[in-house]
Amino acid sequence: MWRLAILVLAAASILYAADSGESLFRNHCAPCHGADGTGGRGPNLTAARLLRAPDDAALSAVITLGIPGTQMPGTRMTAEENRELVAYVRGLHRAQTGRVEGNRENGERLFRGKGNCVQCHTASGRGGQLGPDLSDIGTKRGPEFLRTALLDPEKAVTDTFTSYRRVIFMPDNFLQVHVVTKDGAQIAGTRVNEDSFTIQVRDFGGRLHSFRKDELRELQKDWGKSPMPSYRGVFSDAELADVVAYLVSLQGAQ
C-alpha cells in the first residue's frame, strides 16, 4: 500500500510541475513567443536548437536576466519556478516534433523556382540580399508564423521592428525606407544599417547606398510595412505546406 501511495504522490508531483510550468509559460512567455511556443514577436522555442540557450543553464540565465539590447526582459521567479519553466520550454520541442506537414525537398524546389524567393532571400548560402537571410529561420520562427508571412507578409512584421531600437538584429533590423537627397534623387529600399548620423540602404535593384542624414531632404521609415508580395494564389495549399516544411528545416550550421 505504501508503495502505491509513493507512486501516486510522485505522479501528482510530476503533473503539478507540468501544470505549473505551463501556467508560468502562459503568463510570462506566450504573449511574445506564442501560446504553443512557435514564435511571434519572440523567436520559436520549439526548435531543436535555441541559439541563445543551448543548454538548461543558459536557458535559466536568459529567463532570469533577459537579453540586453532586445525586448526579452528578465523575470523575477523562485528557483523552483525557474526550473519548472525551463523544463516546460524544453518539452515544447518534443511536443512539436512531427507536427510539420509537407515535403521539404519539394518545398526547396518551390522556394528556389516557382516562388523565386531567392531573388530577395538567402538560404543555405545561396540567394539575394534584399530580404533577411533565412538560413536559420527554422530556429527562430514556427510553422504558423511562416505560413502567415507567406500569405500576409505585413501581418508577420514583428513589433520589434515597428519602432526604433538602438540595438537591432536581423530580421528585426529589416525596415523599408524611402530617401530623398538634397538634389531630389529618390531611393526606395531596405535599411541595411543605421546610426545617429548615417544610414545605409539597399535599393530594390540590389544596389547599396550610404547617406549622411544631414545631407538628406527626406528620410521616410515605413514601420510595419513589407515589400514582400503575398503568395496567396501563387502556391496551392499543398505547395504552401511544402515551402513551410522547407523553411522550418532551415536550422543553420549544426
| CATH, residue 92 | 1.10.760.10
Same domain, 6 and 90: yes
Residues 189, 222, 145, CA angle at the centre, nearest 5°? Answer: 90
Task: Tell me the pTM.
Answer: 0.66
Same domain, 86 and 208: no
Tell me how many domains the chain contains.
3
**pLDDT given for residue 144 in this prediction:** 83
Q: How far is CA 94 from the centre of its chain?
A: 19
Residue 56 lies in a domain: yes
Cis peptide before 171 (omega within 30 of 0): yes
Same domain, 9 and 126: no
Q: How far apart are CA 15 and CA 226, in angstroms?
A: 44
* pLDDT over 90 at 231, yes or no: yes
Q: What is the residue range of 73's domain?
A: 2-96
Residue 77 lies in a domain: yes
Same domain, 30 and 90: yes
Residue 23 lies in a domain: yes
| CATH, residue 192 | 2.30.30.100
Same domain, 47 and 7: yes
pLDDT confidence of 97, banded at 50, 70, 90?
low
Q: Where are the alpha helices (DSSP H) in the chain?
A: 2-28, 30-33, 56-65, 79-96, 104-112, 143-151, 237-249
Residue 25 lies in a domain: yes
Same domain, 118 and 238: yes
| Phi, psi (degrees; rounded to nearest 5) at 189 | 180, -150
* More reliable by pLDDT, 83 or 14: 83
**pLDDT given for residue 118 in this prediction:** 93
Same domain, 141 and 196: no
* Strand (E) or helix (H) holding 202: strand 198-203
Same domain, 133 and 206: no
Which of these ranges, 20-24, 57-61, 161-165, has the smallest mean pLDDT? 161-165
Residue 217 lies in a domain: yes
Q: How far apart are CA 17 and CA 217, in angstroms?
A: 59
Residue 171 lies in a domain: no
Q: How far apart are CA 56 and CA 83, in angstroms?
A: 9
66-95 b/e with 16+ CB inside 10 Å = b?
eeeebebeebebeeebbbbbbebbbbbbee
Tens digits of residue pLDDT in 145-163: 899 899 998 877 655 444 4
